[in-house]
Amino acid sequence: MAQTSTGLQLRSTVRQDGSLELSLVSVPTPEPKPDEVIVRMGAAPINPSDQGLLFGGADMSTAKASGTADQPVVTASIPPAALKAVAGRVGQSLPVGNEGAGVVVQAGASPAAQALMGKTVAILGGAMYTQYRCIKAVQCLVLPPGTTPADGASCFVNPLTALGMVATMRAEGHTALVHTAAASNLGQMLNKICLKDSVGLVNIVRRQEHVDLLKKLGAAHVCNSTSPTFMDDLTEALVATGATVAFDAIGGGSIAGQILTAMEAAANRTAKEYSRYGSTVHKQVYIYGGLDTGPTELTRNFGMAWGLGGWLLTYFLQKIGPAEGEKLRQRVASEIKTTFASHYTRVISLTEVLDPKVMADYNRKSTGEKFLIAPHKAA
């Protein structure tokens, strides 16, 4: 067990002076309790949802490298406007990484933990940009034989978010849905789910090449928000699908309001008499991301039956409870190489995560680009 007794772990700290410090630290691997296992991490993705914690609102164009080749340190300044939002984490050296996968190399005494020895498992729970992760056996999702850690690294955030959108749609009485930034890894996954489950989906993208990409992947409705005919195209797609709920990754700007406006126009196509309060059909947009961190602007011309709100996977899973959540997890495991397959454009080591040149690449958040960290890959 000598080689597992310590491991490297990526840390992010907002320092007292208002700057960000990223570093690799050597941490001892704990002895697992009876219900715990040690996972030798094979792969962990960099999701947009990891970058907020990783960068702490810092301006990464100011990043400076220091430290040694083995244990690099990167510092960057945090603009004053962003500092308030991270006030709660000042001085805390925080581990990063929501999800990943690896092989169980040590197990606590309980039968549940022992049963996992040698298994390839996917795990969720933070601190995944690390070489050895101690975690409860019950939190491990066992992957089917023949699945590598790289195959299973993204079992939770994107797959459960996509499934959560469809489940939320059903639970709230809608029958079809709208998705923005729809050419993303998550968007392609949602498209696959909707095709498989025969759920109407309206994809909104910002570039013609993403229209082409999604159409090639079988999407029936793809609207380009930069097209002059966008509002008409969107309204037609909403009439065709009956979608009255949307999940928006963008957040800022006018897109959420535009979707509500188009939903209202679609609902009024079938209205029989004038109502000054607009259509009685409830129209809902959930903001689940913040690709545009600017203000959200709503031109309220969509009646009174509407809602806008935040949507977070964690809250969704709490709401449906562990039994329903486990059903979703098992579906992901069984379809991890098909419906829920992720594609990575680059595999990097923990050291490379702290290389300012590599950092600039994964910080671009370009649709279609996705990085995978291999914590045991040589620097």
Binding site for a copy of itself (CB under 8 A): 52-53, 84-86, 88-89, 92, 94, 251-252, 257, 268, 271, 273-277, 280, 287-288, 290, 293, 295-301, 303-312, 314-315
Asked if residue 142 lies in contact with residue 333, where contact means CB atoms within 8 angstroms, the answer is yes
| Identity of the residue, 52 or 356, whose beta carbon is nearer to a copy of itself in the bound complex | 52
**Strand 64-67, strand 346-348: pairing:** unpaired
**Closer residue to a copy of itself (CB): 79 or 307:** 307
Longest dimension (CA), the chain: 77
Please report how close the Cβ of residue 338 comes to a copy of itself at its closest, in angstroms. 30
Please report how close the Cβ of residue 211 comes to a copy of itself at its closest, in angstroms.
28
Query: For the chain, how far is it from start to end, CA to CA, in angstroms?
Result: 23
Would you give the DSSP letter of residue 48? H
CB of 258 to a copy of itself, least distance (A): 12
CB of 313 to a copy of itself, least distance (A): 9
Burial category of 228 from C-beta neighbours within 10 Å (exposed 0-12, middle 13-18, buried 19 and up): exposed
- Residue 361 to residue 371: CA distance in whole angstroms: 9
Residue 113 and residue 108: Cα distance in Å, rounded?
6
- For residues 344 and 372, give the distance between their C-alpha atoms in angstroms, rounded to a whole number: 6
Q: Least distance (Å) from a copy of itself to the CB of residue 318? A: 9
Residue 253: closest CA among 220, 292, 209, 308: 292
Quick one: which H or E segment has residue 334? helix 313-334
Q: Choose between 110 and 254: whose C-beta lies nearer to a copy of itself.
A: 254
Between residues 215 and 300, which has the closer beta carbon with respect to a copy of itself?
A: 300
Of 113 and 287, the one with the shorter C-beta distance to a copy of itself is 287
Amino acid type, 241: T
| Least distance between a copy of itself and beta carbon 92 (Å) | 7
CA distance linking residue 288 with residue 158, whole number of Å: 12
Closer to a copy of itself by Cβ: residue 100 or 278: 278
Task: Choose between 299 and 345: whose C-beta lies nearer to a copy of itself.
Answer: 299
Task: Quote the least distance from Cβ 285 to a copy of itself, whole Å.
Answer: 10
The CA–CA distances, whole Å, from 259 to 55, 191, 208, 256, 373 equal 31, 19, 19, 5, 36
Nearest residue (CB) to a copy of itself, 87 versus 323: 87
Q: Give CA–CA dist 329/323, Å, rounded.
A: 10
Cβ at position 41, least distance to a copy of itself in Å: 21
- Residue 175 or 293 with smaller CB distance to a copy of itself: 293
Q: How far is the CB of 85 from a copy of itself (least distance, A)?
A: 6
Helix H or strand E segment including 157: helix 157-171
Q: In whole angstroms, what is the distance from residue 257 CA to residue 198 CA? A: 27
